[in-house]
Amino acid sequence: MDDTRHPANAATAADYRLGVGGVMLREAWYYALPAKALKRGRMLHRTLLGEPVLIGRAADDQVFAMRDTCPHQGTLLSKGKFDGREVACPYHGWRFATDGRCTSIPSQTADQKPQPQDIRATTYAVAERQGNIWVFMGTAETSMPPVPEVPSIGHRLQLHVSMTFACNIDLAVAGLMDPAHGAFVHRSALWRKEGSIHEKHKAFSPLPLSEGLGWRMDRHRASRNSRAYRLFLGGSPETEISYRLPSVRIEHARTAKYNYCGLTACTPVDADRTEVHHAMYWDVPGGALLRAIMRPFARRFLDQDRRAVMAMVEGLAFDPPTMLVQDADAQTRWYYRLKREALTAQAEGRPPRNPIAPVTLRWRS
Ligand code: FES
Ligand SMILES: [Fe+2]
């Protein structure tokens, strides 16, 4: 049945309040950090989905990731030394190759157990794509979904901004995909004014499963209150926006001359904190100067979203009754529905099905 035709009722609200709230979906790629932040021969600590992860770049430029706790006594390996080939634990000097093999246990005599070949550090699959480093949080490496990529100008990463939202991943995601907050949260003379709100009709379709579990707002002419796009790209841009689990929104705007792509990805640090990454690509000429101009805008924009979500988090702490309306909240509903389907499919050991049918949504924004 067409999900969006349901009246906004208590059952639907319950879906989003209770159904999958805050669960950190596994078997998925998560944005870890921009590739530029990881120099050759260096390693960093990240907490992803509540797990300590060491991410490093070896002398041969390959990125790797392993669980950031020493198999011996749990010390953070990232506090140790890395010579570009092996990580050495700071406590008793056990050494690990980038594929997790233990290569040395200094305290052991030749006849004692364990020997290095008996020990392995847990590793994670990583991918470096289009200037981003992704970590696969899961075990089913044979059936990994594709690494998220922006279309056509993936070699033109210009800017990355990130911010931590003090909330679970669901509230961060819902806050970013919501289509009706622009005029209120991002109010500005350049961007949007409340008075510019008008009715919109947008066609949506499910993403092919080969691209992940998600949907797409089909290519359309950018709305007349998207002034920033117009200024930036010149002419009259067309946009397409896709969303796929667990948390990746990709927007592509283009005119006859130029392209802009934005990739937004939410990565849970843990159940109550979410890192929101925004990577921006464009082929508009302007180099470092344009980046310098865009950076404060991008940060301000993301911070506006953050503050809006924080105000919602504060309200939700009182456990108020809430509702989802049609059609402005349809995407929020889809998000929870797809997440529930992903969790059910994982529990049942079957591939997920996409329950979204092509539909045109109408709302005012
Ligand atoms: S805790 Fe790492 S070597 Fe002992
Ligand atoms: Fe926003």
DSSP 79-136: GSEE-SSEEE-TTT--EEETTSBEEE-TT--TTSS--GGG-B--EE-EEEETTEEEEE
Rounded distance, CA 311 to CA 48, Å? 25
What's the confidence (pLDDT) of residue 141?
65
Q: Any idea which residue has 């879906």 for tokens?
A: 15
3-state DSSP call for residue 303? helix
Rounded distance, CA 362 to CA 87, Å? 54
Which numbered ligand comes closest to the C-alpha of 306? 2
**Where, residue-wise, is CATH 3.90.380.10 in the chain?**
3-24+149-364
Across the chain, which has 365 residues, the per-10-residue mean pLDDT values are 36 47 89 98 98 98 98 98 98 98 97 97 97 93 86 95 95 86 80 74 94 94 74 86 96 93 97 96 93 94 95 88 87 90 91 93 90
**Where, residue-wise, is CATH 2.102.10.10 in the chain?**
34-143
Length in residues, the chain: 365
**Ligand 1 within 6 A of CB of 75:** yes
Centre of ligand 2 from the C-alpha of residue 305, in Å: 5
Residue nearest to atom 3 of ligand 1 (CA): 92
CATH class, 34-143 region: mainly beta
Pocket test for ligand 1, best of 54, 66, 72, 77 (most atoms within 8 A of CB): 72
Centre of ligand 1 from the C-alpha of residue 75, in Å: 6
Cα–Cα nearest to 302, from 271, 340, 276, 334: 276
Centre of ligand 1 from the C-alpha of residue 31, in Å: 29
CATH class, 3-24+149-364 region: alpha beta
**Ligand 1 within 6 A of CB of 104:** no
**Ligand 1 within 6 A of CB of 89:** yes
Which numbered ligand comes closest to the C-alpha of 74? 1
pTM for the model stands at 0.93
What's the confidence (pLDDT) of residue 4?
38
Residue nearest to atom 4 of ligand 1 (CA): 92
Centre of ligand 2 from the C-alpha of residue 48, in Å: 24
Rounded distance, CA 143 to CA 280, Å? 29
Which atom of ligand 1 lies closest to the CA of 92? Answer: 3
The encoded tokens of residue 255 equal: 């005119």
